[in-house]
Chains A and B, each alone.
Chain A
């Protein structure tokens, strides 16, 4: 049996061994109470129920009673080559595919996960994000569950004692005091999305669809220390992956500037800015596979930007980041201007620097 590794340091920084003992004691007590009839691990009947479970622990994704500290068998941590910027939050992602089934590989789009699959994402902050593992606190856990009739999104908010997360269809707001990875003290009016807002980003046509688990986003060494596509294949989470896999450069890594900028736009914008996404009517398409420079904004006029244009004529004016609507909206936190519309309430200087550098490097065009 694979013992899942503990994924989070305990808030008190206590020893792993002691917690393991506590966890075993907890399981033993639970067994006595339930006469050991309850199946351990993720519960299909709860995952596939008509409604959301009231508590995150009800699903059995994490070892009880200390929900969120260690995963059950079959729940696998993963991460992405590039992540959506979410107000500096740390994110812990897990995939669960029902035993005996696998997601089907797709070279471009999200893998085809079987019914009963769950993607789990916990958003967390530490007092100082330069050391995000130290005294980390979980804020919320979002579940994407593939039910019979399609994917649904359920938000859960963690309690103060960090012992349970409660279903919160309306989301919420929390004030987070932290220090950014650059060492700046910051107060974040952190927004936990409601169920509709989950769908606003996770929309493809009329359907709710996951965003992250695509081959190009997963194709690197993840938190388990192995290439994730190989790891998922070995564990039968995934089937059909070829030897030759697509890649996307790390946005803040060493690749070519244009590739890094396009990679950043792909994960931060393209969930809406794609032909069948929430921002389809803008005609601005920022996904990795877009081939038309007008499509990704070069000399493209705004459609419905209103004051989001910042008095600029084009989404991207080559050579002139200061005249480009794209950058103007990244450099704002004001509703009606800020992009993305959801999920960001503070400015990310690193993203701005990347996009500024990219637009500045484009050859100037005369009008």
Chain B
């Protein structure tokens, strides 16, 4: 009897001591309870959790949200795990992230009614190997932004494809410390947009078949202004020829179809080693913010820009939008680099500061200064000149690195 008891207790001890790793929760699979299963997991996640999505198509009718730090959401691969929001009836986006240290990877999101994936106020947000697309092609009824970090910092966008956004495919707004790389933006109004943000590196991306390839903007009347220190390099910015389909009223509705890179207001932007080709309005456009605004703290001028060592193919041969009327006087086409020549602003046009636009390109690369002088510009007062501004030493911002991770 005693022996039996002893044996039982040894067995009990042995089984209690068996090192058993807690079973990882199974990947969530498509099905009638998938939405509730996933949203519950997102709500009840603990920091460090990895939430897996199985292959297959998930049909969701409501938006998802994550508000727990240090959680990753991973699918079985782009085109394998598909989150379809075609039947969405609620929420302003497909997935909203409001926590820190979040990684989203390896899935496709389709047809969200509003934005695709938004992160707001996140410190540490990684979008890796994702596709966000609207499957009906470029339509004004598509959602505004595909990948949409805003008021966030330490933003990594790597290996992401966005198609069909009615504003910007990859849009980073009012954020700091940003990398956008190895990504593809096509058939959007704007391919990639960095807006009212600081310290952004945009490199090794392909922006094609958008109305405008890449935009770097600074806009008034926003909580975060004074965008600066962005580098745009080694990108393929080619064949951006999709007719602008943005709903009027939005700033990107003003981007002329066929623009390669548009730089508006902002400070200390460096553009180098990119390949531009077949952008029919212009490859590079540098302009002041030209709409009326009421914001005394805002500077609408582009300042301290360096454009160097890029490769330019054909382009500017069929200018669209508001600069089109100038083309006939310039022989019907615009050169590779167009600057509006605005150096003064304010109600009386008397506010200014030194505007340095450095073009360090081969002599045959075309440049025009439209000499518009003040904003809002009056195109009838253009004084075009092909003379480049004096060269200047403008220090390039250091490479952006993510804290605790490999950087550029």
Q: Are the chains A and B members of one assembly?
A: yes
- Which residues of A (139-193) have their CB < 8 Å from a CB of B? 169-170, 173, 189, 191
Q: Which residues of B contact A314 (CB under 8 A)?
A: 249
Cross-chain contact of B65 among A189, A194, A206 (Cβ < 8 A): A194
Cross-chain contact of B151 among A199, A280, A299, A308 (Cβ < 8 A): A280
Of chain A, the residue at the smallest CB distance from B63 is A335
Instruction: Tell me which of B85-93, B276-284, B321-329 binds A.
Output: B85-93
Please tell me if the beta carbons of B294 and A299 are within 8 angstroms of each other in the complex.
Answer: yes
- Which residues of A (281-310) have their CB < 8 Å from a CB of B? 281, 283, 294, 299-310
Cross-chain contact of A169 among B40, B150, B151 (Cβ < 8 A): B40
Please tell me if the beta carbons of B144 and A305 are within 8 angstroms of each other in the complex.
Answer: yes
Please tell me if the beta carbons of B250 and A275 are within 8 angstroms of each other in the complex.
Answer: no
Distance in Å: Cβ of A36 to nearest Cβ of chain B: 36
Please tell me if the beta carbons of B221 and A283 are within 8 angstroms of each other in the complex.
Answer: yes
Known: A170-B43, A196-B43, A283-B223. A306 touches B247 (CB 8 A): yes
Please tell me if the beta carbons of A335 and B113 are within 8 angstroms of each other in the complex.
Answer: yes
Please tell me if the beta carbons of A312 and B294 are within 8 angstroms of each other in the complex.
Answer: no
Known: A283-B222, A303-B219. A310 touches B247 (CB 8 A): yes
Known: A196-B67, A336-B92. A306 touches B166 (CB 8 A): yes
- Which residues of A (328-367) have their CB < 8 Å from a CB of B? 334-336, 341-342, 345, 367
Please tell me if the beta carbons of A307 and B141 are within 8 angstroms of each other in the complex.
Answer: yes
Flag whether A322 is at the interface (Cβ < 8 A). Answer: no
Known: A304-B173, A306-B144, A335-B114. A199 touches B67 (CB 8 A): yes
Cross-chain contact of B294 among A169, A294, A304 (Cβ < 8 A): A294
Flag whether A313 is at the interface (Cβ < 8 A). Answer: yes
Q: Which residues of A contact B91 (CB under 8 A)?
A: 197, 335, 341-342
Flag whether A278 is at the interface (Cβ < 8 A). Answer: yes
Distance in Å: Cβ of A183 to nearest Cβ of chain B: 26
Please tell me if the beta carbons of A307 and B166 are within 8 angstroms of each other in the complex.
Answer: yes
- Which residues of A (113-138) have their CB < 8 Å from a CB of B? none
Cross-chain contact of B98 among A199, A294, A325 (Cβ < 8 A): A199
Flag whether B52 is at the interface (Cβ < 8 A). Answer: no
Known: A196-B65, A307-B141. A280 touches B223 (CB 8 A): yes
Of chain A, the residue at the smallest CB distance from B152 is A281
Q: How far is the CA of A143 from the CA of B121 in the complex (A)?
A: 25
Flag whether B145 is at the interface (Cβ < 8 A). Answer: yes
Flag whether A320 is at the interface (Cβ < 8 A). Answer: no
Flag whether A200 is at the interface (Cβ < 8 A). Answer: yes
Of chain B, the residue at the smallest CB distance from A340 is B92
Please tell me if the beta carbons of A194 and B249 are within 8 angstroms of each other in the complex.
Answer: no
Of chain B, the residue at the smallest CB distance from A275 is B223
Flag whether B140 is at the interface (Cβ < 8 A). Answer: yes
Q: Which residues of B contact A195 (CB under 8 A)?
A: 43
Cross-chain contact of B114 among A196, A299, A306 (Cβ < 8 A): A306
Distance in Å: Cβ of A295 to nearest Cβ of chain B: 8
Known: A199-B98, A280-B223, A341-B92. A304 touches B248 (CB 8 A): no
Flag whether B354 is at the interface (Cβ < 8 A). Answer: no
Cross-chain contact of B89 among A189, A299, A367 (Cβ < 8 A): A189
Known: A169-B44, A304-B150, A325-B249. A336 touches B114 (CB 8 A): yes
Cross-chain contact of B221 among A196, A200, A275, A294 (Cβ < 8 A): A294
Flag whether B167 is at the interface (Cβ < 8 A). Answer: yes
Cross-chain contact of B40 among A170, A302, A335, A341 (Cβ < 8 A): A170
Known: A189-B89, A281-B150, A335-B88. A306 touches B39 (CB 8 A): no
Q: How far is the CA of A313 from the CA of B293 in the complex (A)?
A: 12
Flag whether B66 is at the interface (Cβ < 8 A). Answer: yes
Known: A196-B66, A305-B144. A367 touches B223 (CB 8 A): no
Q: Which residues of B contact A106 (CB under 8 A)?
A: none
Q: How far is the CA of A299 from the CA of B292 in the complex (A)?
A: 9
- Interface flags for B217-249 (1: CB within 8 Å of A; 0: not) read 001011110000000000000000000000111
Q: Which residues of A contact B96 (CB under 8 A)?
A: 196, 200
Q: Which residues of A contact B145 (CB under 8 A)?
A: 304, 306
Of chain B, the residue at the smallest CB distance from A344 is B90
Please tell me if the beta carbons of B249 and A311 are within 8 angstroms of each other in the complex.
Answer: yes
Flag whether B295 is at the interface (Cβ < 8 A). Answer: yes
Please tell me if the beta carbons of A302 and B223 are within 8 angstroms of each other in the complex.
Answer: no
Flag whether B375 is at the interface (Cβ < 8 A). Answer: no
- Which residues of A (194-235) have their CB < 8 Å from a CB of B? 194-197, 199-200, 203, 206
Flag whether B251 is at the interface (Cβ < 8 A). Answer: yes
Please tell me if the beta carbons of B144 and A304 are within 8 angstroms of each other in the complex.
Answer: yes
Q: Which residues of B contact A294 (CB under 8 A)?
A: 221, 294-295
- Interface flags for B31-44 (1: CB within 8 Å of A; 0: not) read 00000100110111
Q: How far is the CA of A310 from the CA of B42 in the complex (A)?
A: 33
Flag whether B143 is at the interface (Cβ < 8 A). Answer: yes
Cross-chain contact of A301 among B40, B166, B249 (Cβ < 8 A): B249
Q: How far is the CA of A312 from the CA of B253 in the complex (A)?
A: 11
Flag whether B291 is at the interface (Cβ < 8 A). Answer: yes
Please tell me if the beta carbons of B223 and A281 are within 8 angstroms of each other in the complex.
Answer: yes
Q: Which residues of B contact A310 (CB under 8 A)?
A: 247, 249
- Which residues of B (113-148) have their CB < 8 Å from a CB of A? 113-115, 120-121, 140-145, 148
Q: Which residues of B contact A308 (CB under 8 A)?
A: 114, 144
Distance in Å: Cβ of B226 to nearest Cβ of chain A: 14
Most B Cβ at <10 Å: residue of A196, A275, A299, A304: A304
Known: A199-B98, A281-B173. A313 touches B248 (CB 8 A): yes
Please tell me if the beta carbons of B114 and A281 are within 8 angstroms of each other in the complex.
Answer: no
Q: Which residues of B contact A342 (CB under 8 A)?
A: 90-91
Please tell me if the beta carbons of A306 and B251 are within 8 angstroms of each other in the complex.
Answer: no
Please tell me if the beta carbons of A307 and B292 are within 8 angstroms of each other in the complex.
Answer: no
Please tell me if the beta carbons of A306 and B250 are within 8 angstroms of each other in the complex.
Answer: yes
Cross-chain contact of B248 among A170, A309, A335, A336 (Cβ < 8 A): A309
Please tell me if the beta carbons of A206 and B247 are within 8 angstroms of each other in the complex.
Answer: no
Please tell me if the beta carbons of B67 and A305 are within 8 angstroms of each other in the complex.
Answer: no
Distance in Å: Cβ of B163 to nearest Cβ of chain A: 16
Please tell me if the beta carbons of B250 and A305 are within 8 angstroms of each other in the complex.
Answer: yes
Q: Which residues of A contact B151 (CB under 8 A)?
A: 280-281
Distance in Å: Cβ of A336 to nearest Cβ of chain B: 3
- Which residues of B (294-316) have their CB < 8 Å from a CB of A? 294-295
11 contacts between A and B (CB under 8 A): A169-B44, A194-B65, A196-B67, A199-B98, A281-B173, A283-B221, A309-B247, A309-B250, A311-B248, A314-B249, A336-B112
Q: A residues near B, CB below 8 A?
A: 169-170, 173, 189, 191, 194-197, 199-200, 203, 206, 275, 278, 280-281, 283, 294, 299-314, 325, 334-336, 341-342, 345, 367
Given contact pairs A301-B249, A301-B291, A307-B142, enumerate 17 new A-B contacts (beta carbons under 8 Å).
Answer: A169-B44, A196-B42, A196-B98, A197-B91, A281-B222, A283-B222, A294-B294, A303-B222, A304-B148, A305-B250, A306-B250, A312-B248, A312-B249, A336-B114, A336-B143, A341-B92, A345-B89
